[in-house]
Amino acid sequence: MENLAQHWQRLYLATLLLGLVVVCLGAWTRLADAGLGCPDWPGCYGQIGVPDSEAEALEAFPDAPLEPAKALLEMVHRYAAGLLGLGILGLFVLARLGDNARSKRIAAVLLILVVIQAGLGALTVTMRLFPPIVLAHLLLGFITIALLWSLRPAPHWNLRTGLFKTHLAFAWLFLVVQIVLGGWMSANYAALACPDFPTCQGEWWPAMELSEALNMPLLSDTSYLGGRMDGEGRTAIHMAHRINAILVLGVLLSFFLRLQRAPGAGIASMTGICLLGGQLLLGIILVLIGIPLLLAVFHNLIALLLVINLTHISMIVWRRPDVTYNPNSLAQNYR
């Protein structure tokens, strides 16, 4: 059992780290417009790697000229996602060999999610970046990392009051809405709809069309690369993202300040405050300097770290009364 726990810890940490890398690679691929760098799936122009020449690629897909850098980025993302799937499969096998019922359940759910995620990855390509699929792919990636984190042991804080649980629920609600809005904005290429701050297009309330922003696009055989939504629809998405950011700031900041009262919760509280402040500042900078790729990827990463932080806190606040904590083993975290 001791060897099993050691194998679990090593594989778990490697899988968690790889998961963070995969989410960042996915954001990089999306933001670099490389989501269709390979027009087929799971291969690239019918090969297991990037074709050696453009002529070779055009022979397989005459209507999809090869862009080597984008194709390479797409394939690196796919192979990293494949390794993540193998890591989760390994966690599932080790969990089945152990006696931790909770770890078995979470590992089983993770295995199901990674299969669904692979299917969404295929649909992202075959449906030519259809925005709802792109958004679902992003959200499922965040959920996967949150579940991976929930396999960790968590210390006990005395925060099991109804008021604190309600505040945490609202923190989750506004954060999830913000991530959905951010994903929808990215999938519809609306990040540059407002090139100035704090105004948008030089106005406090620019012309926008909310019904267009919420309208589900129709399926077609042509690519959604670059987006199809009109300008007022994109402006509406961008403004909704900004307005909800103010609500997120208020709800999460008050939550993290309340969290500071709990003995031992100072690190989680300060981590949340720093992530929240950094995300707000980075969002403003991205607008002002035109969405540079590296900073945009980092913006995605901070959102994921906020999700991880709230997941960690939720494990404590919503812990069942019969839960015990073992600080020495990831595999034996719940009995």
Point out the residues that are catalytic. 74
Answer for the pair 56, 64: CB distance below 8 angstroms, yes or no: no
Q: Single out the residue of 200, 134, 294 nearest to residue 286, CA to CA.
A: 294
**What's the per-residue H, E or C state across the chain?**
CHHHHHHHHHHHHHHHHHHHHHHHHHHHHHHCCCCCCCCCCCCECCECCCCCCHHHHHHHCCCCCCCHHHHHHHHHHHHHHHHHHHHHHHHHHHHHHCCCHHHHHHHHHHHHHHHHHHHHHHHHHHCCCCHHHHHHHHHHHHHHHHHHHCCCCCCCCCCCCHHHHHHHHHHHHHHHHHHHHHHHHHHCCCCCCCCCCCCECCECCCCCCHHHHHCCCCCCCCCCCCCCCCHHHHHHHHHHHHHHHHHHHHHHHHHHHHHCCCCCCHHHHHHHHHHHHHHHHHHHHHHHHCCCHHHHHHHHHHHHHHHHHHHHHHHHHCCCCCCCCCCCCCCCCCC
Answer for the pair 226, 134: CB distance below 8 angstroms, yes or no: no
Distances (CA, A) of 302 to 82, 121, 209, 249, 273: 24, 23, 29, 14, 12
